[in-house]
Amino acid sequence: MLSIFITFFLFLGGYVYAASVHASKTLVFYDERLDQLDSFSNFLSDLKDREYELDYYSANSTADIELFEGENRLYDNLIVLPVKGKHINKLVSDKTLLQFYNDGGDILSVTSPSAVPDSIRLFLNQLGIFPSPKGYELVDNVQGSLKIDSSDFRDSRICAAKYASSITLNGASSALLDNREQIFPILAAPRTSYTKATGKDSWSVGSQGFLATAFQNLKNARVAWLGSVDFLKDEFYGNNGNFVQEIAKWVFQEKNVIKSVDASHFHVDGTSYDEVPYKIKDAVIYEVGFSEWNGEKWVPFITDDVQFELRMLDPYYRLTLKPGRQKDEIQYYTTGEFRLPDHHGVFTFETDYKRDGFSFAVQRDVRPIRNLAHSEYARSWDISNAAVYLSSIFSVIFAWVIFIIFFITASPVVNKPMNTNKKNN
């Protein structure tokens, strides 16, 4: 009976964490002076339906907010809704947010023109995302209201383009972006819009600004920023709900999560490096497996752009891998047979798969490749070009032998005596 209970408990535990690839304990940070939680009931209900465990913390609370217990994170995800005032800077500093993020926590941040806390802004600035300051609002004098066109959509890997066309916003902030490779622009501001505060210069003009963007660090922790609370409010959720949930699924690692496993390389006869270390010009095979999280389980990841590099300081080879065998949840990719370079040294066998919107998958193995031993060099008679040199050597030897034979066997030359008689006059 006890074993049945344990099995049932484990089943429930697996179901609870089925949506995200990691645990889903989430803290929602909000300011009830700006918006009551009831204003986001549809958004929060969707998260609960996917079995997220939500805790709430109001910016007006007198209790300290705790994200860590010692060095351990207490939450897997953090949702920061618009918060007004400087109180949040003491509750959650930008250093705390950065520590939470660097430790693997995922963050969904939402700001509005009237609520851009310094701690959130400074944290985003360190990632290369620069939201407009407090009081700056995105306006469009040409269209009147903010209308998002399909041409403003930037990243279909994070969110399908069809969800962006129905977005409705009453007011919004915009952000300027750095040119870092880890930043993924999602939604640009309309071309006829600009972000401005009364009596101050424009923060952004046209599509220079962005309404939504994402960031992923090299440890695969994720951040998403939204420039308007209207994305989440029930009032606009009928138009914005699908878009927001796609963003939430990405940032909380329900989608576009891949991993590389079982990277290996070996001689073409199957002998491993440990059994027979590599030497120059050996024929070897490299293989690596990829899996993708589909929101419920790991499945084979199918693609055609996985590349392998054999590098010392610079790549000696860069080969596109071909699909190989498939086993359970893993799709394997292989180089097929290739020969190591005619150069000894310490080489790195590497697959570095980094694509916009997907988690980064890196596999590295460092191995020395030795030079040939003296006895392993090809003999001269095995080298086709050596025939000229060998024939020259044997020709000289043959000519020398003939010379010696003639020198030994030749008859001596007899010199005739000279006539020494004097002639008489």
Has residue 116 been placed in a domain? yes
Whether residues 173 and 298 fall in one domain: no
Whether residues 231 and 332 fall in one domain: no
Mean pLDDT, the chain cut into blocks of 10 residues (425 residues total): 40 50 88 90 96 91 83 94 82 91 96 90 96 92 78 86 84 94 93 90 93 95 96 94 95 96 96 95 97 94 96 92 95 96 95 94 96 82 79 92 89 66 59
Query: What's residue 19's pLDDT?
Result: 78
d(CA 276, CA 135): 68
Whether residues 89 and 146 fall in one domain: yes
Whether residues 240 and 288 fall in one domain: no
Has residue 39 been placed in a domain? yes
Has residue 125 been placed in a domain? yes
Whether residues 243 and 265 fall in one domain: no
Query: What's residue 197's pLDDT?
Result: 92
Whether residues 324 and 363 fall in one domain: yes
Has residue 28 been placed in a domain? yes
Whether residues 207 and 62 fall in one domain: yes
Whether residues 130 and 278 fall in one domain: no
Report residue 203 CA to chain centroid gap: 31
Has residue 2 been placed in a domain? no
d(CA 377, CA 96): 61
The size of the chain, in residues, is 425
User: Comparing C-alpha atoms, which of 290, 286, 288 is closest to residue 317?
Assistant: 286
Query: What's residue 155's pLDDT?
Result: 82
Has residue 394 been placed in a domain? no
Domain boundary among 375, 399, 414: 375
39: number of CA atoms within 13 Å, CB side? 15
| Angle, helix 41-49 to helix 237-251, in steps of 10 degrees | 40
Whether residues 163 and 69 fall in one domain: yes
Query: What's residue 305's pLDDT?
Result: 94
Query: What's residue 74's pLDDT?
Result: 94
Q: Six-digit token pair at 152?
A: 């403003």
CATH assignment at residue 274: 2.60.40.10
Has residue 297 been placed in a domain? yes
Query: What's residue 420's pLDDT?
Result: 62
Domain boundary among 251, 266, 297: 251
Has residue 124 been placed in a domain? yes
Domain range enclosing 368? 257-375
Whether residues 345 and 245 fall in one domain: no
Specify the pTM. Answer: 0.84
Query: What's residue 3's pLDDT?
Result: 43
In the chain, the number of structural domains is: 2
1: number of CA atoms within 13 Å, CB side? 0
Whether residues 273 and 168 fall in one domain: no
Query: What's residue 15's pLDDT?
Result: 40
d(CA 71, CA 301): 34
Whether residues 226 and 360 fall in one domain: no
| Torsion over CA: 172, 176, 179, 180 (sign) | negative
Query: What's residue 316's pLDDT?
Result: 93
Domain boundary among 338, 355, 375: 375
CATH assignment at residue 32: 3.40.50.880
